């Protein structure tokens, strides 16, 4: 599709549902919330729901749709997310797409020795550093769940390891409500206070309910922690087709929509006006292996379709791309990564995470992240489209050059080629002879070399010694308090 002005906007996209189909899914989601409801034992949720006019009985809560719709009115339609230094980084709204790293895997594929091993804090640090360098990665997540620190308090170790190595915005899961509180306290130290952090948020919470329709106390507490601070949060339950949700994609999307609406209602009843996305994760159950397939085309189709529903509410969306079911950087990894990154970019999903996953999310890989960054560059250029005006049509330049001429020495070429033509970093565009002379490097060879170069030469903007010292104090204090609380029960 060709644009007709100087302004570069999204020029390509796709529609999956008709307006009537979106309306049907939305009505079905409201029906589920109203007639089936959700399970929740949290006493504060019971109290809020009763006061709002919902039905609460035996930990089952059914919410009349008018309550949900009232909460939707107060939910912000988009957010501005800043970087660690308080500079605008992402407009999370409309169909603007931003890509981020993978997270929470117990294993890491070592980019230097090629072995899959337990994730460590050093991996989180290096993941942040590599992501900081990559221009296609817009936000970061801790690349893995560190196995060399106490698991129940991992976030107070992972968050400072991440943010000390990148200035980019961060999304974090959090393993406990208390851990989330410490993460926000750490972020406030960096931002210069909680008020500054709330005004210019550079972190986004990611509380994950359990499909189908179950909101455990710990998840509710994390929703509250973010809402109380007016910090943006992403509903993140994973609805797995044929396992924790209907095998039909329409049914799966309906369930995700219902669970997102419940999450939004809980957050709004807790703190009116707090920022919440309409989001969830799609899982495809491979009926041969009984494992979740991240590279399945249905995964991308369902996420794109769910985003259309969320966009009809004018709320931010959440995707998952750049991931593979392969266990190494091979053709499968490239195919699945490229297909998901492009299809979700075309769909206009806002925050697209998990670039860098191997083995259906069980391992994080810097190689997969670096290769995914290349695909993101291609995708962003494709989605950017074509600007049409007198200058870009170049009628006079074509006339000046005339038949049989060339455009290499034209000032028009010099003025425009860097903006018009995407610059490949890893794709091999050399002649055969040059490639042979270089030792016939494969894509995997080039990716490994890129990871090595970044790890050895890139120097992220450091935090001050004062901030690092305070983060270290909070890390030690947080671990001690979290473990003591869990031990006490």
295 in Cβ contact with 325 (< 8 Å): yes
* Half-sphere exposure for 443 (CA within 13 Å, toward CB): 17
Query: Residues 130-159, buried b or exposed e (16+ Cβ, 10 A)?
Result: bbbbbebbbbbbbbbbbbebeebbbbbbbb
Give the pLDDT of residue 6.
52
Angle at 404 between CA 403 and CA 405, to 5 degrees: 95
Phi then psi for residue 133, to 5 deg, are -75, -35
- Residue 285: per-residue pLDDT: 92
Among candidates 183, 272, 262, 263, which has minimal Cα distance to 223? 263
- What does each C-alpha distance from 58 to 32, 215, 390, 486 come to in angstroms? 18, 14, 68, 26
Determine contact, residues 320/281, Cβ cutoff 8 Å.
yes
pLDDT in the model for residue 8: 47
Q: Are 263 and 221 in contact (CB under 8 A)?
A: no
Partner residues linked to 238 by β-bridges: 281
Give the pLDDT confidence of 126-146 residue by residue, as tens digits: 999 999 999 999 999 999 999
What CA–CA distance (Å, rounded) separates 457 from 2?
Answer: 41
Residue that is written with structure tokens 């947080």 in the block: 478
Question: Which pLDDT tens digit goes with each residue over 47-98?
Answer: 999 999 999 999 999 999 999 999 999 999 999 999 999 999 999 999 999 9
**CA quadruple 103, 104, 108, 111: dihedral, nearest 10:** 10
Q: Closest Cα partner for 343 from 298, 385, 373, 313?
A: 298
Residue ranges for the chain with pLDDT beneath 70 = 1-13
d(CA 174, CA 168): 18
- Say how far apart CA 46 and CA 43 lie, in whole Å: 5
CA atoms within a 13 Å half-sphere pointing along the CA-CB vector of 124: 28
| Residue 206 CB burial class (10 angstroms; 0-12, 13-18, ≥19) | buried
User: Residue 172 in contact with residue 203, Cβ under 8 Å?
Assistant: yes
Question: Are 364 and 103 a contacting pair, CB within 8 Å?
Answer: yes
């Amino acid at each position: 599709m060709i644009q007709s002005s100087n302004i570069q906007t999204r020029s390509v996209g796709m529609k999956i549902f008709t307006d009537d189909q979106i309306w049907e899914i939305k009505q079905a989601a409201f029906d589920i919330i109203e007639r089936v409801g959700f399970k929740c034992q949290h006493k504060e949720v019971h109290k809020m729901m009763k006061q709002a006019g919902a039905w609460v009985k035996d930990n089952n809560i059914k919410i009349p749709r008018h309550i949900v719709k009232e909460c939707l009115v107060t939910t912000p339609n988009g957010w501005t997310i800043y970087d660690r230094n308080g500079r605008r980084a992402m407009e999370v709204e409309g169909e603007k797409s931003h890509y981020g790293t993978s997270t929470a895997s117990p294993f890491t594929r070592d980019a230097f020795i090629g072995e899959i091993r337990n994730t460590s804090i050093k991996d989180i640090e290096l993941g942040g550093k590599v992501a900081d360098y990559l221009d296609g990665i817009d936000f970061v997540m801790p690349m893995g769940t560190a196995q060399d620190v106490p698991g129940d308090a991992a976030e107070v170790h992972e968050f400072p390891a991440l943010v000390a190595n990148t200035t980019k915005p961060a999304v974090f899961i959090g393993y406990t409500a208390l851990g989330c509180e410490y993460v926000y306290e750490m972020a406030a130290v960096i931002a210069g206070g909680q008020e500054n952090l709330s005004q210019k948020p550079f972190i986004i919470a990611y509380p994950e309910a359990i499909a189908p329709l179950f909101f455990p106390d710990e998840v509710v507490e994390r929703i509250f922690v973010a809402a109380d601070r007016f910090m943006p949060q992403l509903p993140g339950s994973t609805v797995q087709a044929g396992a924790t949700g209907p095998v039909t994609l329409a049914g799966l999307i309906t369930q995700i929509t219902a669970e997102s609406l419940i999450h939004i209602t809980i957050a709004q009843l807790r703190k009116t006006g707090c920022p919440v996305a309409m989001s969830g994760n799609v899982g495809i159950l491979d009926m041969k292996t009984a494992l979740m397939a991240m590279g399945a085309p249905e995964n991308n189709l369902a996420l794109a379709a769910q985003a259309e529903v969320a966009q009809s509410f004018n709320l931010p969306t959440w995707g998952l791309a750049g991931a593979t079911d392969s266990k190494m950087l091979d053709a499968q990894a490239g195919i699945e990564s490229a297909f998901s990154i492009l299809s979700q970019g075309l769909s206009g999903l806002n925050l697209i995470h998990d670039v860098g996953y191997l083995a259906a999310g069980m391992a994080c890989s810097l190689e997969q992240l670096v290769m995914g960054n290349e695909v993101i560059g291609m995708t962003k250029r494709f989605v950017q489209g074509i600007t049409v005006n007198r200058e870009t049509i170049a009628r006079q330049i074509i006339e000046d050059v005339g038949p049989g001429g060339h455009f290499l020495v034209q000032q028009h070429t010099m003025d425009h080629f860097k903006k018009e033509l995407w610059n490949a970093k890893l794709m091999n565009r050399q002649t055969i002879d040059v490639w042979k002379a270089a030792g016939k490097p494969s894509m995997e060879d080039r990716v490994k070399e890129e990871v090595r170069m970044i790890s050895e030469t890139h120097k992220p903007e450091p935090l001050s010694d004062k901030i690092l010292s305070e983060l270290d104090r909070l890390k030690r204090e947080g671990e001690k308090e979290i473990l003591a609380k869990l031990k006490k029960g």
